[in-house]
Amino acid sequence: LTETTAAANGPRPLAGKAALVTGGSRGIGRAIALRLAADGAAVALTFRSGQDQADQVVKEIERAGGHAWAVRADSADAEEIRASVAGAVDRFGRLDILVNNAGIGVLGPFEGISLDDVDRVLWTNVRAPFLTAQAAAAHLTEGGRIISIGSCMAERVAFPGGTLYATSKAALTGLTKTLAKELGPRGITANLVHPGPIDTDMNPADGESAAMQAGLTALGAYGRGSDVAATVAHLAGDGGRYITGASIAVDGGFAV
Ligand code: NAD
């Protein structure tokens, strides 16, 4: 809230814009929702099960003088995805920025990964961002932004046990680069942000492999959701005008 309030008192580069952040109820998505709102955007955030947490984010944004709306949208449900995009447009009268953030990680030995795991991870990490971008693209106009949250495991580093997660996140590279070309003529950019180890429920800084992960960064430390949010805010604002088709690491120099 301190960061939100501080930014709210400063320049508001996204004033008049509307954003949709998937999985905005906690972790990196929550930090992105708060940051975009602090920069002046009206923010719709989706959640799957954390209605209370999503409501808290909305309240926090509203307390700081912003506009926000939370809507349930399970990544597995195409109708809920489309309804969340349509709802955001109804609510705010426009859509300028989509942040595909919701994602899950299933790690484990390659040969032990079940069909259920494959379906769950690919539907959440690939099918959902694809469908959300498709629904959003219909509403984006000149200056529109599609920003997806990948992972340094998509391109920069590989770990045993990461086949499914890395496969899913690498798919976002293809989606992003091609969207950049296809939507570029309409003045819409598409970019990918690859976080390294960020302290969230998915990857807590006091978790089992945390010391190893921190040790692999050049900075020797975990990052915060707000570190990722700062780059998303840059891409969403005027500073991102001429950046498209890019993959930007926010990873503390993970395995450089
Ligand atoms: P998190 O588990 O704290 O949050 C994940 C978010 O995704 C939640 O808001 C959750 O509600 C949402 N979500 C999950 N499954 C969903 C579904 N089926 N339908 C709708 N929403 C769903 O994780 P996080 O660390 O904040 O991760 C956010 C993104 O960043 C993910 O895409 C993740 O892969 C990526 N990432 C995280 C790290 C890290 O170290 N934390 C590193 C690289 C990439």
Residue 214 · residue 222 · CB < 8 Å? yes
Nearest Cα residue to 107 out of 213, 256, 222: 213
Per-residue confidence (pLDDT) for residue 156, from 0 to 100: 86
Domains along the sequence of the chain with CATH: 2-250 (3.40.50.720)
Residues contacting ligand 1 via CB (< 6 Å) = 23, 25-29, 47-48, 50, 74-76, 101-105, 124, 149, 151, 195, 197-198, 200-203
* pTM listed for this prediction: 0.96
Per-residue confidence (pLDDT) for residue 136, from 0 to 100: 98
pLDDT in tens, 31-71: 999 999 999 999 999 999 999 999 999 999 999 999 999 99
Nearest Cα residue to 46 out of 18, 91, 88, 79: 88
ipTM over 0.95 threshold: yes
Spatial distance between the Cα atoms of 227 and 3, rounded to a whole number of angstroms: 12
Residue 41 · residue 119 · CB < 8 Å? no
Residue 140: alpha-carbon gap to chain centroid = 17
* pLDDT by position in tens, the chain (length 256): 344 544 455 789 999 999 999 999 999 999 999 999 999 999 999 999 999 999 999 999 999 999 999 999 999 899 999 999 999 999 999 999 999 999 999 999 999 999 999 999 999 999 999 999 999 999 999 999 999 999 999 988 999 999 999 999 999 999 999 999 999 999 999 999 999 999 999 999 999 999 999 999 999 999 999 999 999 999 999 999 999 999 999 999 998 8
Per-residue confidence (pLDDT) for residue 9, from 0 to 100: 58
Tokens at 86, concatenated:
């349509």
Which of 200, 227, 251 to probe ligand 1 with, by most ligand atoms within 8 A of CB?
200
28 Cα to the center of ligand 1, angstroms: 7
Which atom of ligand 1 is nearest to 49's Cα?
11
